[in-house]
């Protein structure tokens, strides 16, 4: 995707193993920034939980408690062991989406590889937990429901879940990044086309950048992080309970 | 215009049409879901939190077809259009 001019990739080639991997150094760097931010946030908030109730402990307990309620509603008392995973995914996606708002930093979720990795994680967790809970025989029997010739449709449906789950996050964040990158040049070209000088466009460019960052970065980022975490919980619950 | 350029032009046009027409259905669906949610939460305001959660999941599932359209549009744009 070098055409867009947004993503710079590098290729690592190991001749002894005939192994080639293409990666994006910026996305790797900012993923580690997000991980360190979550780690710092955890260290900052966990001290408050040990002492008397305060604002910090209320924040952490609300976050954990709301996801814990949802998991218990969907899967019963069994669902509580998935709460740490879902809360971690929520925090990672939320902070990744919000990182793009800061000028000079980029969202790791702007790259499809990050989103596919998260979607694949949920896919593997959902299928292995369903296998362990129901046993291999009744897990495989679920693919032949309601009739035996539904097998290909069910298999395609499972991969469709994985694709739509990761592409939903990627599409929203990538579209926001493209609109943010395009809004400045489009306004300048419109002003030049009607004969106004370039400098008179600057307040409109500032406004467009602020509005697009507030909408696509903060609002869409929050909603998509919540949707990603809720869908992860729902996919795990559907496979375990159905 | 050579055949190579023609393929690129058609791929760009096809990706735009694919994304535009593919988003129609899920846009209508998401609108219906949002309207029903407002109606439900105005009838029963105490259930607003539970309705919001269900609405977000329903909207995410309704937007799945638009995401498949986005996938096809990106494939056209970056695999065929960039050749």
Q: Domain with B56 in it: what CATH number?
A: 1.20.20.10
Residue B6 lies in a domain: no
Closest residue to A164, CB basis, from B57, B59, B64: B64
Instruction: Measure in Å the smallest separation between the Cα of B74 and chain A Cα atoms.
Output: 10
Task: Provide the token pair at B60.
Answer: 């995410």
**Contacting residues of A for B67, CB less than 8 Å apart:** 163-164, 167-168, 171
Measured distance CA(A229)–CA(A221) in Å, rounded: 12
Nearest-angstrom CA–CA distance, A130 and A141: 12
Q: Which residues of A touch B60 (CB under 8 A)?
A: 168, 227, 230-231
Domain boundaries along the sequence of chain A:
41-240
Looking at residue A31, its pLDDT comes to 92
DSSP state of A77: G
Residues of chain A contacting residue B59, judged by C-beta atoms under 8 Å apart: 227
Partnered with residue A55 across adjacent β-strands are none
Cβ contact (<8 Å) for A223 and B63?
Answer: no
Q: Does B17 reside within a domain?
A: no
Cβ-Cβ contacts under 8 Å for B26 (sequence gap 6 or more): B62, B63, B64, B65, B66
Which tokens belong to A147? Answer: 């009739």
pLDDT in tens, chain A (242 residues): 443 445 567 777 878 777 777 788 888 899 999 999 999 988 888 887 777 788 888 888 888 898 998 888 888 888 888 999 999 999 999 999 999 888 888 888 888 889 999 999 999 999 999 999 988 888 888 888 778 888 888 899 899 999 999 999 998 888 888 888 888 888 888 888 888 888 888 888 888 888 888 888 899 899 999 999 999 999 999 888 87
Q: What is the mean pLDDT of residues B40-55?
A: 89
Distance in Å, alpha carbon of A165 to nearest chain B alpha carbon: 8
Sign of the Cα torsion A86, A92, A98, A100 reads: negative
Tell me if residue A105 falls in helix, strand or coil.
Answer: coil
- Tell whether B79 is within 8 A of chain A (Cβ): no
Measured distance CA(A26)–CA(A183) in Å, rounded: 23
Which phi-psi region, left, alpha or beta, contains residue A8 (left: φ > 0; alpha: ψ -120 to 50)? beta
Residue B14 has pLDDT above 50, yes or no: yes
- Kindly report, residue by residue over B49-78, the tens digit of the pLDDT: 888 888 988 988 898 889 889 889 988 888
Domain assignment present for residue B36? The answer is yes
How confident is the model at residue A7, as a pLDDT? 58
Interchain pair A167, B71: CB under 8 A: yes
Domain membership of residue B56 as a residue range: 24-80
Judge whether A40 and A57 are in contact, CB under 8 Å: no
Number of domains in chain B: 1
Collapsed DSSP state (helix, strand, coil) of residue A146: coil
Per residue, the 3-state secondary structure of B48-78, as one string, reads: HHHHHHHHHHHHHHHCHHHHHHHHHHHHHHH
């Amino acid at each position: 995707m070098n055409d867009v001019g947004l993503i710079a990739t590098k290729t690592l080639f190991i001749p002894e193993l005939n192994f080639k991997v293409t990666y994006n150094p910026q996305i790797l760097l900012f993923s580690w920034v997000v991980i360190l931010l979550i780690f710092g946030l955890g260290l900052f908030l966990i001290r408050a939980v040990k002492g008397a109730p305060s604002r910090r402990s209320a924040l952490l307990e609300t976050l954990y408690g709301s996801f814990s309620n949802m998991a218990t509603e969907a899967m019963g008392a069994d669902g509580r062991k998935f709460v740490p995973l879902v809360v971690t995914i929520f925090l990672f996606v939320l902070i990744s989406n919000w990182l793009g708002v800061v000028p000079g930093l980029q969202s790791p979720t702007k790259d499809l590889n990050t989103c596919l990795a998260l979607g694949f994680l949920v896919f593997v967790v959902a299928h292995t937990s369903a296998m362990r809970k129901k046993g291999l025989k009744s897990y495989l029997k679920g693919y032949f429901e309601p009739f035996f010739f539904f097998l290909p449709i069910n298999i395609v449906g499972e991969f469709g879940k994985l694709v739509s789950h990761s592409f939903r996050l990627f599409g929203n964040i990538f579209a926001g990044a493209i609109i943010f990158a395009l809004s400045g040049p489009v306004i300048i070209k419109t002003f030049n086309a009607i004969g106004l000088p370039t400098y008179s466009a600057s307040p409109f460019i500032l406004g467009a950048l602020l509005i697009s960052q507030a909408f696509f970065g903060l609002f869409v980022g929050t909603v998509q992080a919540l949707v990603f975490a809720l869908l992860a919980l729902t996919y795990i619950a559907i496979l375990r309970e159905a | 215009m050579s055949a190579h350029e023609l393929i690129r032009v058609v791929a760009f046009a096809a990706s735009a049409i694919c994304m535009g027409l593919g988003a129609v259905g899920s846009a209508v669906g998401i609108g219906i879901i949002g309207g029903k949610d407002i109606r439900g939460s105005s009838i029963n305001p105490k259930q607003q939190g539970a309705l919001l959660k269900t609405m977000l999941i329903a909207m995410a599932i309704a937007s799945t077809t638009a995401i498949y359209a986005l996938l096809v549009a990106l494939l056209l744009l970056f695999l065929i259009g960039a050749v």
